[in-house]
Amino acid sequence: MHNKTLAELAEGLRNQQFSSRELTEAYLTRINQHQELNAFITVTAELALALADAADARLAKGDAGPLTGIPIAHKDIFCTDGVKTSCGSKMLDNFIAPYDATVVAKLQQAGVVMLGKLNMDEFAMGSSNETSYYGPVKNPWDLNAVPGGSSGGSAAAIAARLAAGVTGTDTGGSIRQPAAFCGITGLKPTYGRVSRYGMIAYASSLDQGGPMARTAEDAAILLQAMAGFDERDSTSVDRPIPDYRAALKKPIDNLKIGLPKEFFGEGLSAEVAQVIETAIDEYRKLGAEVIEVSMPNLKLAIPAYYVIAPAECSANLSRFDGVRFGYRCANPTDLTDLYTRSRGEGFGREVKRRILMGTYALSAGYYDAFYIKAQKIRRLISEDFKKALSEVDVLMGPVAPSVAFGIGEKIGNPIEMYLSDIYTIAVNLAGLPAMSIPAGLASGKPVGLQIIGDYFAEDRLLTVAHRYQQTTNWHQLTPPGFA
């Protein structure tokens, strides 16, 4: 059963080929068998079986939707009522969320079965899933390699067939990059399309939740349930939601693809470049026109991002002070000691680094020089995308400059680690939708093709991705040992 896509599992449940309980038990068994991946922080087996039984009752009555009885898991950044929500941090190791995030609630209303909470970089800060308090997640394609970050547990769980679908979040590429490293499909929606309520914030103007699954069709089914306006989220956009699954049937005749020349310069692995070029050729065979475009301000994306995101993280993480919830140091001597030691002991090295960077950028004398300038660059990058997308339907290129690198290979060099997001960060600065789909292998490891669209054009992205997956089989590959 675990080798079926989410869409196939839904059909099997409707046709009574198996029950949700049988399906859930099969996934729980696989999770237990593959603990070496360290993909899960919390497994909610008892809750999952109760939800599966409830789903079976709905299925028996004919009162079921496309997600009823489907076992999924959530990135441990989404609050889940009565279940630990840690953000991969010692700071929240003892935090039991008192409510459900909107994404969790929407999927629960759709009838999913929650298997548990997935490992992640601490507070979503990282590109390799090595900053987690619970240890690194391993890539199913190579247990000595990283799965990408920060949604590394999510990507590894799908690649290893430990869940039918998962949730992730993307602040600078944290859905797309791990999706590329693990050979799965991941979609970062337009900023505001999916509610951020109950999604613990890293950088509020950049964070966006989205689906991760095996195929574009599966991602469409998940996004249909996740998307929508939420009055509790001031950044949520009140806009009609298209039928994403129906959009998959649309033709892509006369598709115009833009290739930003800045994505194909120095730093891109020759092997990765070859895979991407082969994928683009496949679209040419499908009748697409390919045009080179230029986005001159893309080279400024990383410096702008690493001013804006740490500045917002500095503000957002100030609430973790050892007073109201989360980790508290032992025997503080006074209030200053309580704050200092609770934060010093509760946060990991990368989180502390970004808090310091952000506080510095926001400090008197540097706010104008760094933060305001970074926001101006952000506008220039958005204008580059606007111009390019006025000429073409979608933009395509690599997700990352290389395949998954080794565990420990870059953790000691923050700058080199930050550069692994060089092709994804600009999309978040502009607030655009983008996705990664499997496009091939290089040195035996997956390579992801990035597809970027205009605002609220998730349906077009899914259509373009689905058409490619109908003519190729890269999304069907399973890591050796996980069949």
pLDDT tens digit string along 283-317? 999 999 999 999 999 999 999 999 999 999 999 99
CA–CA distances in Å: residue 188 to residues 83, 183, 221: 25, 16, 14
Is 151 an active-site residue?
no
**Residue (of 275, 209, 281, 288) closest to 438 by Cα position:** 275
3-state secondary structure of 40: strand
What per-residue string of b and e applies to 263-286 under the rule 16 or more CB within 10 Å gives b? bbeeebbebbbebbeebbebbeeb
Cβ(458)–Cβ(223) below 8 Å: yes
Name the one residue in this structure whose structure tokens are 């049988």. Answer: 22
Please give the pLDDT value at position 63.
Answer: 87
* pLDDT given for residue 1 in this prediction: 86
Q: What's the pLDDT band for 437 if we cut at 50, 70, 90?
A: very high
Q: Does the annotation mark 285 as catalytic?
A: no
Residue 99 DSSP SS3: coil
**Annotation says 236 is catalytic:** no
Q: Which of 127, 132, 151, 174 is catalytic?
A: 174
User: What integer pLDDT is reported at residue 161 of this predicted model?
Assistant: 98
Task: Mention every residue, 6+ apart, whose C-beta is less than 8 A from residue 122.
Answer: 87, 88, 89, 131, 132, 133, 347, 348, 350, 351
- pLDDT for 283 equals 97
pLDDT above 90 (res 408): yes
Tell me the two tokens of residue 393.
């339907």
pLDDT band, residue 253 (cuts 50/70/90): confident
Global pTM? 0.96
19, 127, 128, 150: which one is catalytic? 150
pLDDT tens column, 134-163: 999 999 999 999 999 999 999 999 999 999
Q: Which of 75, 117, 138, 445 is catalytic?
A: 75
Would you state the structure tokens that stand for residue 351, as one six-digit string?
Answer: 């989180």
Which helix or strand (DSSP H or E) is residue 104 part of? helix 102-109
Average pLDDT on 171-187 reads: 98
pLDDT digits (tens, 9 = 90+) for 10-49: 999 999 999 999 999 999 999 999 999 999 999 999 999 9
* pLDDT tens, residue by residue, 113-134: 999 999 999 999 999 999 999 9
Contact 155, 127 (CB under 8 A): no
Residue 446's pLDDT is 98
Look at residue 365 in the predicted model and tell me its pLDDT.
85
Phi, psi values for residue 408, rounded to 5°: 90, -10
From the list 39, 23, 367, the residue with the least C-alpha distance to 184 is 39
In percent, how much of the chain has pLDDT > 90? Answer: 95
* Dihedral class, residue 295 (left if φ above 0, else alpha if ψ from -120 to 50, else beta): beta
CATH architecture of structural domain 6-250+463-476: Alpha-Beta Complex (3.90)
Mean pLDDT of the chain, nearest integer: 97
pLDDT-derived band at 384, boundaries 50, 70, 90: very high
